[in-house]
Amino acid sequence: MFCNQCEQAESGIGCKEYGVCGKDEDVQSLQETLLCGLKGMAAYAHHARRLGRSDEAVSAFIEEALFVTMTNVNFDVPTLLEKVLECGKHNLRVMEMLDEAHVAHFGQPAVAEVGTGTRPRPGILVSGHDLLDLHNLLRQVEGTEVLVYTHGEMLPAHMYPRLRNHPNLAGHFGGAWQLQKREFEAFGGAVLVTTNCIQEPRESYRDRVFTTRATAVPGCLRLTTDDFSAVIARALELGPIPERAGAGIPVGFHHSVILGAAPAILDAVKAGDLTRFFLIGGCDGAEPGRNYYSEYASNTPGSSLVLTLGCGKFRIMGHDYGTLLGLPRLLDMGQCNDAFGAIKVAAGLAGALGCGVNDLPLTIVLSWFEQKAVAVLLTLLHLGVRNIAVGPAAPAFISPNVFKLLQDGYGLKLIGSDAKADLAAALA
Ligand code: SF4
Ligand code: SF4
C-alpha cells in the first residue's frame, strides 16, 4: 500500500505497509478501488451533464463516497466493499443517461461502414470520447473545405445519423490511443483531443494539437469554450493532408440494433446455430500481453458472436471473422460507456430465454487500462455478473485479499497466459 493523504504519513513521506492511522492494505485497496471507480464514473457523468442529463442521487453518492475515503472515517472492509459495489450501481445509471443523451442529441444509431482513408484537403482529426465537441466542430466547419476525421474512441460517432450524415465528416483515421504519436504525426492536419487518452505530444506535431476543457498538455492550446475557430484556422493554415486509401470498418451495433435482431438471434440459440456470445473489449494499451485478446477473439468458433466496445476493439479488429445470421461476427457496440448496451443486450436475451445473465452462453473477457474500465467492472459486479476474466494484469491497487474477496464472491479471475487454452475451457 501507499498513502500520503494526511499529516501522519510515515516519515513525512507516506505509509507503506500499514497506516499510522491503523489503515491496512485491504482498507487502502478498497478505498483506492472506490476512488478509481468514482473517477471513471465522473468522466461519464461529465459527458452526460454536458448533454443536459444528471441525477441528484449520483451526485450525492459521489460526495458520500469521497467522504468515506478520508482519514479516520472508515476502516471496515464490508462497508467499503458495499460502497465499491454501490459505485457500480450509480455508474450503471450514469451510462444509461449518457446512452439516452447520445441518442436524443445525435439520432437513433444504425449500422454504417466507415472509410479509413484521407482526402487531399485540410483536415482535423478528433480523438477522445466527447461527441458533443465533435458535433460543435462539425457545425463550425460547415461550408468550409475542411474535412473532419475521427480517431480512437471517437469511431462510434459514425453510428449516429446527425454526426455521420454531416458533409464534413469524412471518415476515421488511426487505431487505439497508444498509437497516437505515430498517427498524429502522420495525419498532417490539426488534431483535437477531447478527453483521454492523450499522450505527451512529440515536438514534430505539438503545434497542431488542441485540447478541450479537462484535457491539457503543455505547449498545446486548451479550448475552454465551444469555439473551435482556432483549430479550423490551424487546419486551413496547414493545408491539404496526404491522400490515403483505407478499408471500411463496420460500426453501429448499438443495443437497439442488436436487440432489433433478437428474434433471429433467439431462434438460432434455440436451434444450436448460435452457440456462444463473447464480450471481448475494454481499453487497449501498450503493455505486452495484450495480444492475448486478438488471439482469443480470432479463435472463437464460427457459431459465436463477438461483441466488442472501447478502444480494445482495435486490438481484435484486424481479422476476418465472417458473418453469422447475416451479421458480422464481430459487432462493435461503441465506446467503453456503451458497456451499458452490452448489459441491455445480455439482460434482454436472458429475459427472453427465461434465465439469468449468468446462465447465458456468455463469456466476458475484459481488458482494462484506466479508471473508466474500473467503473464498468464495478457495474458488472454490482449486477452480480460472475466469472469475468480481466487483464492483462491485476490492478496494482487491488490487494491479494481484496482480489480473493472478488474471486470468492463473483468468480472474478485474471486472464491466463494461453488464450487458446482459456477459450477451450470457456467452450467446454
Ligand atoms: S490516512 Fe492513514 S495511511 Fe494515509 S497517510 Fe494518513 S496515517 Fe497514513
Ligand atoms: S477505452 Fe479506455 S483506454 Fe481506450 S481511449 Fe477510452 S478511456 Fe482510453
Is the pLDDT reported for residue 191 higher than 90?
yes
Is the pLDDT reported for residue 258 higher than 90?
yes
The response to whether residue 331 sits with its C-beta less than 6 Å from ligand 1 reads: no
Q: Looking at residues 252-270, what average pLDDT do you find?
A: 97
- Ligand 1 pocket test: pick from 1, 2, 4, 6 the residue with the most ligand atoms within 8 Å of its Cβ: 6
The response to whether residue 5 sits with its C-beta less than 6 Å from ligand 1 reads: yes
Using 50, 70 and 90 to split pLDDT, how confident is the model at 308?
very high
* Cα-to-centroid distance, 376 and ligand 1 (Å): 28
Using 50, 70 and 90 to split pLDDT, how confident is the model at 287?
confident
Is the pLDDT reported for residue 289 higher than 90?
no
Tell me the pLDDT tens digit for each residue of 62-108.
999 999 999 999 999 999 999 999 999 999 999 999 999 999 999 99
Find the ligand nearest to 11 CA: 1
Q: Looking at residues 36-52, what average pLDDT do you find?
A: 98
* Cα-to-centroid distance, 322 and ligand 1 (Å): 54
Task: Enter the pTM of the model.
Answer: 0.97
Q: Looking at residues 369-397, what average pLDDT do you find?
A: 97
pLDDT of residue 278: 98
At CB < 8 A and 24+ separation, what contacts does 44-50 make?
Answer: 44/91, 44/94, 44/95, 44/98, 44/337, 44/372, 44/375, 45/94, 45/97, 46/214, 47/98, 47/101, 47/129, 47/130, 47/131, 47/132, 47/337, 48/94, 48/97, 48/98, 48/101, 50/130, 50/132
Q: Looking at residues 297-313, what average pLDDT do you find?
A: 98
Q: Looking at residues 46-72, what average pLDDT do you find?
A: 98
Strand partners, 169: 148
The response to whether residue 15 sits with its C-beta less than 6 Å from ligand 1 reads: yes
Using 50, 70 and 90 to split pLDDT, how confident is the model at 116?
very high
* Cα-to-centroid distance, 79 and ligand 2 (Å): 30
How is residue 421 written as a grid cell? 487454452
Decide if 117 contacts 246 (C-beta within 8 A): yes
What is the rounded CA–CA span in Å between residue 255 and residue 273? Answer: 21
Q: Looking at residues 191-203, what average pLDDT do you find?
A: 96
What is the rounded CA–CA span in Å between residue 66 and residue 177? Answer: 29
* Cα-to-centroid distance, 127 and ligand 2 (Å): 11
Tell me the pLDDT tens digit for each residue of 127-157.
999 999 999 999 999 999 999 999 999 999 9
Which residue, chain included where needed, has cell 484535457?
215
By alpha-carbon position, which residue is closest to atom 2 of ligand 2? Answer: 283
What is the rounded CA–CA span in Å between residue 187 and residue 244? Answer: 10
Decide if 168 contacts 231 (C-beta within 8 A): no
Is the pLDDT reported for residue 26 higher than 90?
yes
pLDDT of residue 288: 79
* Cα-to-centroid distance, 77 and ligand 2 (Å): 30
Using 50, 70 and 90 to split pLDDT, how confident is the model at 210?
very high
Question: Which of 138-152, 218-232, 278-292, 336-350 shows the lowest mean pLDDT across its residues?
Answer: 278-292
Average pLDDT, the chain: 97
pLDDT of residue 315: 95
pLDDT of residue 146: 98
